[in-house]
Amino acid sequence: MDQPPAVLAPSGDLQPAQAHGELLASWLASIERDVADAQRSAATLVTYRSSIRTWEAWLRQSGIIQPGPLQVTEFLTAAGANRAPATRNRHLHALRSCYRWTESQGLYPAIARSARSLVVNRDEPLPCFSREQMEALLRAVSDSPEIGRARSPGETARAEVTRLRDIALIRVMFGTGLRLISLVRIDVDHLDLEGNPPTIRHQPKGHIATDAIAMLAAGTVTCLREYLAQRAFIGLAGGPLWISLHARPGLRLTAWSMRRIVTQAAERAGLASRGADGRLLQPRLWGPHAIRRAAATMVADTFGLEAGQALLNHQSIDTTRRAYVRVHRWRLLERARHTLDLGAPP
């Protein structure tokens, strides 16, 4: 890539500019050092790296060597098309952090400073899974078509581990209310299935260590034991708790993979559907976070908001209350819809 011209540092001195890819790599290296020094979460690095890779790919595709504020706006528009406002805001947050750092180092101006965040509406009604829908979700996972497609004993064994994994994963999601970011990081040795009560150690959002504990229901423990026993049978006993069984068995599942497991099960259960273009409609409304919402809602209905707050590990009960109110509004509108139905036209 050609070298861009030198840029004016905030101090007024003219500094030789790096190739833009090297500039972005230098910033990511600074974030890695912060993570090593426990100044930032490893999850922050993962998020920033993903956004910067998307930004770099867009720059290459657009043939842009020296981006400015206009290019930042164009990128955010393209990257946020047909996606939730939070996606655009996530990319913007990474670019702002990156170019604030480059400006402070006298390497490149803070070109993302003038870009505006999109408003994320956090008050509209929200659906969540009911207990009956959760049971339908588990039935859809249990009836996985992979076993029927297996063509060898090895494939059959892996398909069975996949089925047991997905059942255990959804039960843990519902029974603990954990975020995906915590679920992804769990290892087998974080489980204590013999304790009273059985527990799972995890790393909450924004934490550096696995310093929190979630309790496990008896049914969930049974499913976990079945999953772990079948894993051990095919030689995958330790390591990450949630693993891939496909191209490279034993690799840690990603958050994206977990989201796909839930949304595909929701589709098979008839809870989610696809549009004319073949894309899943509103996947996030029927994804893992909907399971988390459902768990907290059922607990809050039975034991009050403080119990829901404890389950979700919210620092402020106002956050729990906001989510609960949004689900309650959805319920009220659903009741109103049925009440106001005048029936089929004559």
17 has a pLDDT exceeding 50? no
The pLDDT tens digits of the residues spanning 31-49 come to: 999 888 888 888 788 889 9
Helix (H, G, I), strand (E, B), or coil: what is residue 192? strand
296 has a pLDDT exceeding 60? yes
Lowest mean pLDDT among 6-15, 51-60, 247-256, 290-299: 6-15
Pairing status of strand 14-15 against strand 7-8: antiparallel
Mean pLDDT of 237-254: 91
**Under 8 Å between Cβ of 99 and 108:** yes
For residue 13, what pLDDT is reported? 43
Report the alpha-carbon distance of residue 173 to residue 192 in Å, rounded.
Answer: 17
Report the alpha-carbon distance of residue 181 to residue 251 in Å, rounded.
Answer: 16
Among candidate residues 150, 156, 177, the one with its CA nearest the CA of residue 299: 177
Report the alpha-carbon distance of residue 233 to residue 221 in Å, rounded.
Answer: 18
Q: Between residues 145 and 24, which one has the greater pLDDT?
A: 24
CATH architecture of the domain covering 7-104: Orthogonal Bundle (1.10)
Q: Which amino acid is residue 151, in one-letter code?
A: R
Q: CA of 31: how far to CAs of 34, 97, 127, 255, in Å?
A: 5, 10, 37, 21
The DSSP output letter for 7 is: E
330 has a pLDDT exceeding 70? yes
Q: Which amino acid is residue 241, in one-letter code?
A: L
pLDDT class of 18 with cuts at 50, 70, 90: low
**Under 8 Å between Cβ of 243 and 250:** yes
Query: What would the CATH number be for the domain defined by 131-336?
Result: 1.10.443.10
Mean pLDDT of 286-303: 93
Residues in the chain: 346
Q: CA of 318: how far to CAs of 33, 114, 204, 305, 338, in Å?
A: 34, 31, 19, 9, 30
Q: Which residues contact 163 (CB under 8 A, 6 or more apart)?
A: 141, 142, 144, 146, 147
Q: What is the mean pLDDT of the chain?
A: 87
Q: Which amino acid is residue 316, in one-letter code?
A: S
Report the alpha-carbon distance of residue 207 to residue 201 in Å, rounded.
Answer: 13
Strand partners, 92: none
Buried b (16+ CB within 10 A) or exposed e, 175-189: bbbbbbbbbbbbebe
For residue 119, what pLDDT is reported? 62
Q: What are phi and psi for residue 201, nearest 5 degrees? A: -80, 140
The pLDDT tens digits of the residues spanning 117-169 come to: 766 566 778 888 999 999 999 999 998 777 767 678 888 889 899 999 999 99
Domain map (residue ranges) of the chain? 7-104, 131-336
pLDDT class of 170 with cuts at 50, 70, 90: very high
Q: Which amino acid is residue 279, in one-letter code?
A: R
16 has a pLDDT exceeding 60? no
Q: How far is CA 183 from the centre of its chain?
A: 10
